[in-house]
Structure 1
Amino acid sequence: MANHKSALKRIRSNEAKRLRNKYQHKTTRNAIKKLKSIASKEEASNELPKVVSMVDKLAKKNIIHNNKAANLKSQLAKHVASL
Structure 2
Amino acid sequence: MANHKSALKRIRRNESVRLRNRYQHKTTRNAIKKLRSETDKKSAEALLPSVVSMIDKLAKRNIIHSNKAANLKSKLTRQVAGL
| TM-score normalised by length of structure 1 | 0.98
> Where does the alignment leave 5 or more consecutive residues of structure 1 unmatched?
none
Match of 1:77 in 2: 77
- C-alpha separation in 2, matches of 1:46 and 1:64: 24
Structure 2 alignment gaps of length 5 or more? none
Aligned length in residues: 83
Matching residue of 2:59: 59
CA–CA separation in structure 1 for the residues paired with 2:49 and 2:4: 45
Extract structure 1 runs of 4+ deviating beyond 6 A.
none
Cα distance in 1, alignment partners of residues 4 and 47 from structure 2 = 47
Q: CA deviation at 1:82?
A: 1.1
- State the alpha-carbon separation in 1 of the partners of residues 19 and 43 from structure 2: 31
Q: Does 2:46 correspond to 1:46?
A: yes
RMSD: 0.5
The amino acid of 2:13's aligned partner reads S
Normalization by structure 2: what TM-score?
A: 0.98
2:68 maps to: 68
Identity, % of aligned pairs?
Answer: 73
